[in-house]
Amino acid sequence: MRTVYLDHAATTPVHPEVIAAMLPYFNPMYGNASSVHGFGRKGRMAIDNAREIVAQAIGAQPNEIYFTSGGTESDNIALMGVAEALREKGRHLITSSIEHHAILDTCAYLEKHGYEVTYLPVDVDGLVSPDDVQAAIRPDTILISIGHANNEMGAIQPLAEIGAIAKAHGVYLHTDAVQSFGTLPIDVNELQVDLLSLSGHKIYGPKGIGALYVRRGTRVRPIQFGGGQERKLRPGTENVPGIVGLGRAVELAMEEREARVEHMTRLRDKLIAGLTAVPDVTLNGHPEKRLPGNVNISVKYVEGESLILSLDLRGIAVSSGSACTSGSLDPSHVLIAMGLDHLQAHGSLRLTLGRDTSEADIDYVIEVFPEVVAKLRAMSPLYNRLEREE
């Protein structure tokens, strides 16, 4: 059976060149990068090289990049680390109601420990309003955290405008750029962000590696303790193969960025047109201000979970919302925040394309999708009742 992977927002296949770059660092170059001998020095050099690549990709300096275990950890260090460092200045944070759970759950933890969090709403397209950010800032606000692009419905936030507001008020701005990094051009000075999270496995790198950008002079405390690695902000023996893999993945992303964007945008728009041609199927998220690889739809009178399972039987891998909440039957907090009702939110489907998605993949999905929807609707009591009434 044909298989089509359309879940690149959950994770991506590791690029063969990334694997090739990593392999020597498992063996023979397995030294601990903190060791003084030759084995150690080879690891250290590889880390320094990767740090330069990541820094250059976002217009930062190498000493502003800290390697972490991924997007989740970067988000945790950013929020908890700033909260801890600035607790005497204030205990108020601003974020949005559509953030990834790595942000929302960290905010919930902070709320239990004496901090206050404002969750900004979004409009029907999933966009945060810079005016709302401005209005939410208080004298005790210490951090604003707004994701660059949403992992569920792909909306791209007006981050530079938010950055200007944060700067004018002297409040730090963090962004979770896990979904946008490698696809959208990112310059930390143009966006005026002080902290930025990124992850390896969303850009054809390995899982379990990521980075946090921290602008020089930004106050942030570590949230774990041990050795002196990553200038004590993220102690623990460095994941040298992972860091090398992240570096190579970033290099490839920068080389291929424009070609990837063009390829994914064209196929995405073809997929959107094909899927929304089915009656009662609507697109969620801003039609233009969205990630090149993201399609999010609501299919009325059908459960998202049934759709996923039926498509999986036909070899098509998609998801509902984020991989982290799949398995729970709660409707997406993102779609609910955009004002969708529970029926629409429950019938939502996310299809995310990648550099390896082909035209034939998209044609196959467009062919199979109407059959699967028709079959499921035929079994839906609600749909049948409405049909009889018409």
Ligand X SMILES: *Cc1c(COP(=O)(O)O)cnc(C)c1O
Catalytic residue annotation: 324
Min. distance of Cβ 149 from ligand X in angstroms? 8
145 contacts ligand X (rule: CB under 6 A): no
Min. distance of Cβ 252 from ligand X in angstroms? 18
Choice from 8, 42, 92, 100 touching ligand X (CB under 6 A): 100
Which residue lies nearer to ligand X by CB, 77 or 178? 178
Choice from 80, 94, 102, 107 touching ligand X (CB under 6 A): 102
Give dist(CA 122, CA 39) in Å, integer.
51
Min. distance of Cβ 243 from ligand X in angstroms? 14
Choice from 118, 141, 151, 357 touching ligand X (CB under 6 A): 151
Choice from 31, 81, 147, 182 touching ligand X (CB under 6 A): 147
Q: Which of 350, 346, 318, 351 is nearest to 333 (CA)?
A: 346
Give dist(CA 354, CA 8) in Å, integer.
6
Which residue lies nearer to ligand X by CB, 209 or 340? 209
Q: Which of 366, 298, 286, 326 is nearest to 9 (CA)?
A: 326
Q: Exposed (0-12), middle (13-18) or buried (19+): which is 189, by Cβ within 10 Å?
A: exposed
Cis previous bond, 28, omega within 30: yes
96 contacts ligand X (rule: CB under 6 A): no
Q: Which stretch binds ligand X (CB under 6 A): 59-67, 173-181, 254-262, 343-351?
A: 173-181
- Beta-carbon neighbour count of residue 217 at 10 Å? 7
Which residue lies nearer to ligand X by CB, 102 or 220? 102
70 contacts ligand X (rule: CB under 6 A): yes
Which residue lies nearer to ligand X by CB, 353 or 368? 353
Element (H, E) at 212: strand 210-214
Give dist(CA 173, CA 35) in Å, integer.
36
Q: Are 268 and 293 in contact (CB under 8 A)?
A: yes
- Per DSSP, the three-state class of 225 is coil
Q: Which stretch binds ligand X (CB under 6 A): 174-182, 262-270, 329-337, 374-382?
A: 174-182
**According to CB under 6 A, which residues from 264 to 303 bind ligand X?**
none
Q: Which residue has tokens 């839906």?
A: 380
Element (H, E) at 65: strand 65-68
Q: What is the maximum span of the chain, computed from C-alpha positions, in angstroms?
A: 79
Residue 380 has phi, psi (to 5 degrees) of -90, 120
Contact flags string 191-230 toward ligand X, x per CB under 6 A: --------x-xx-------x--------------------
Q: Are 242 and 200 in contact (CB under 8 A)?
A: yes
178 contacts ligand X (rule: CB under 6 A): yes
Min. distance of Cβ 221 from ligand X in angstroms? 21
72 contacts ligand X (rule: CB under 6 A): yes
Which residue lies nearer to ligand X by CB, 31 or 73? 73
176 contacts ligand X (rule: CB under 6 A): yes
Min. distance of Cβ 101 from ligand X in angstroms? 8
Which residue lies nearer to ligand X by CB, 71 or 163? 71
The DSSP code for 236 is S
Min. distance of Cβ 100 from ligand X in angstroms? 4
Residue 120's DSSP bridge partners are 96
42 contacts ligand X (rule: CB under 6 A): no
Which residue lies nearer to ligand X by CB, 18 or 368? 18
* Structure tokens given for 310: 């039926």
Cα–Cα distances in angstroms (integers) from residue 176 to residues 147, 198, 333, in the given order: 4, 7, 17
Catalog residues that contact ligand X under the rule CB under 6 A. 70-72, 100, 102, 147, 151, 176, 178-179, 199, 201-202, 210
